[in-house]
Amino acid sequence: TTAIAQPPPPLLTQEVNAATMLPPGIPSLGSVGHHLRLCKPCDFVDRGSCRAGAECRFCHLCGAAERKERKSERRRMARATSWTM
């Protein structure tokens, strides 16, 4: 008996979209670490002009108040480290 060779499976013509694999409640790739404060806020989402959408590497859960708080926190840390040197 001779084995008949099967044709290889067809290649995927469409790339896998990582954003479609996000868990519910996570609007962008950058929002994944939001609950651990490991994210970086997206500056454009509140203005309605984030072009990357779900594939954005910045957090869409952080609001304007969160960005302002983190900025002042960075300033406090910078001042604290400059005084100890």
What type of residue is 85? M
Long-range contacts of 35-40 (CB under 8 A, 24+ apart): none
- Which segments of the chain have a pLDDT < 70? 1-3, 7-20, 83-85
How far apart, in whole angstroms, are the C-alpha atoms of residue 67 and residue 78? 17
Q: What is the pLDDT of residue 28?
A: 93
pTM of the predicted structure, to 2 decimals = 0.63
Q: What is the pLDDT of residue 67?
A: 85
Q: What is the pLDDT of residue 10?
A: 57
Q: How far is CA 72 from CA 17, 40, 55, in A?
A: 35, 14, 28
Q: What is the pLDDT of residue 56?
A: 94
Computed from CA positions of residues 72, 75, 76, 77, in that sequence, does the dihedral angle turn out positive or negative?
positive
36-58 residue pLDDT tens: 989 999 989 888 889 999 999 99
